Amino acid sequence: MPGQLHSALLHWYQGHKRALPWRNTSDAYRILLSEVLLQQTRVEQALPYYERFVQKFPTLAALASAHLEEVLKAWQGCGYYARARNLHKLARQVVSLGQSLPQSSAELRALPGIGPYTAAAVASIAFGEPVAAVDGNVRRVLSRWFAWENPGPKQVQQAADTLMAELVNPGSQAHPPDGSLPGDWNQALMELGAAVCTPKKPRCEACPVASFCRGRQHPERYPAARTRPQKSLELAALVLQGPQGYHLELRQGPVLGGLWGVPMEEGPGALERLLTRFGLEKAEPVGTVRHDFTHRKLSIQVYKAPYEAKENPRQRPLSKLDRKILSLVETESLRL
């Protein structure tokens, strides 16, 4: 039965897989870049960033030689900037040692920002290592196949490992059209989850392996939905503008570190602290910007004040949040 499952899914994948640029290369760097992008970004959104990034930094060495600010500028708008910072750090670490990307998932996991999934995906796709890569799509597919409502990470990983071991066993009945067995299998599972076995309204009638699925009668039960509470925060942003530009600051911290933005403070007395910092007595209220991160919902009261400022925001890497704030101020100015 496992051999029939493998064969059916692999043949479906070869005929239905999306034509994506990182599937037309054996370059481990470009495969790594695609996997890092897809950690928190949908394929459709990731495509232009991937193209822009490889045009700007076509090799790992080119990325390593770039300044971090240049890297963040190329990543601008994609969000989750720790990915770009870690990718840059990884490139510098590998290139400084005069090496290329390691070929095993264990060695890849030792690099900055590389977790179990990314390491397994790159090792299997770029180097053919028989290691199972488990992302959200794979978790959902396996949960439905085995009718698991609340599977633990170890349970899912063990099932994925077992399927991979059966695939590469000499006695396996799976015969994909090319020789990239582990990488194709991992991508086939992910593709099935993205295109057919979707979170809502899965297209079971189009599934090539529906006959193997124990949860096909009630697929949306598997796995049970997971809720992530979001913390609400209130902040104040002070847009300081002069005839030649804005005052921008280099941000610190894990979320927006390395990007530039307008001065911002959180909590009671936030505006007063901002005014004191810049020796100002008052600022004009502009409006409110709302912005959501994965675990945080932000409500930012935006103020503006004249200031001797010269920064051009188009020449700095800015977060989407800061671009929304500046856009609000510019729109309000046009109305006056």
In this prediction, residue 82 carries a pLDDT of 93
Answer yes or no: is 287 within a domain.
Answer: yes
Answer yes or no: is 226 within a domain.
Answer: no
Cβ–Cβ under 8 Å, residues 33 and 22: yes
Number of domains the chain is built from: 2
Same domain, 241 and 100: no
SS3 235: strand
Answer yes or no: is 101 within a domain.
Answer: yes
Same domain, 245 and 180: no
Same domain, 188 and 291: no
The angle that helices 68-75 and 82-96 make with each other, rounded to 10 degrees, is: 140
pLDDT in tens, 179-208: 458 999 999 999 999 999 999 999 999 999
**Would you name the residues annotated as active-site residues?**
35
Same domain, 7 and 35: yes
In this prediction, residue 179 carries a pLDDT of 47
Q: Find how far residue 279's CA is from the centre of its chain.
A: 40
Same domain, 213 and 310: no
Cβ–Cβ under 8 Å, residues 133 and 124: yes
pLDDT in tens, 274-318: 999 999 999 999 999 999 987 889 999 999 999 998 889 999 999
In this prediction, residue 332 carries a pLDDT of 78
Average pLDDT of adjacent 10-residue blocks, the chain of 336 residues? 86 95 95 95 95 97 97 93 96 94 97 96 96 96 96 96 86 50 95 96 96 95 84 95 93 88 94 96 95 89 94 92 94 71
In this prediction, residue 284 carries a pLDDT of 95
CATH number of the domain within which 58 lies = 1.10.340.30
In this prediction, residue 50 carries a pLDDT of 97
Which range of residues forms the domain containing residue 96? Answer: 2-221
DSSP string, 29-74: HHHHHHHHHTTTS-HHHHHHHHHHHHHH--SHHHHHHS-HHHHHHH
Identity of the amino acid at 91 = A
Answer yes or no: is 128 within a domain.
Answer: yes
Cβ–Cβ under 8 Å, residues 264 and 300: yes
Residue that is last in its domain, among 156, 191, 221: 221
